[in-house]
Amino acid sequence: MTDWPFSDPPNVAVLTTRSIVRDAAWIARVVHDADDGGWQFHDGTPGARHEADAVVTSLRDLVLRDASLRALADLPEGWCAWRGSPEQPWQRARVDGV
């Protein structure tokens, strides 16, 4: 990936869900944490998630799975992005309480 758009390196560890990594679920919500600059990638499953659902992978792995994530390379820390389906554009907002 010679045209890597993120300021974080491709091999940076990110948090996601088991369903995204193992079941190829689509990514519905992305959070760029304000406190540590970490990234979280969530599927669209409603309801509370459990710690057991969390998986660590690389940012590169998720960008390879979903090229639309490249559009979020400039997502500021303390912001989130979401979409209603894989075909919809990403929406952005500052995370409340930041």
Question: 43-71, pLDDT tens digit by residue?
Answer: 998 776 778 889 999 999 999 999 999 99
What pLDDT, on the 0 to 100 scale, is given for residue 81? 98
How many structural domains does the chain have? 1
Which residues of the chain fall below pLDDT 50? Answer: none
Domain that holds residue 53: 13-84
Closest among 23, 21, 51, 41 to 82, alpha carbons compared? 41
Let me know if residue 44 belongs to a domain. yes
Let me know if residue 95 belongs to a domain. no
What pLDDT, on the 0 to 100 scale, is given for residue 50? 77
What pLDDT, on the 0 to 100 scale, is given for residue 1? 53
Let me know if residue 97 belongs to a domain. no
Let me know if residue 1 belongs to a domain. no
This prediction has a pTM of 0.91
Q: Strand pairing partners for 93? A: 80
- Please give the Cα distance from 50 to 7 (Å, whole number): 29
Closest among 37, 34, 32, 48 to 90, alpha carbons compared? 32
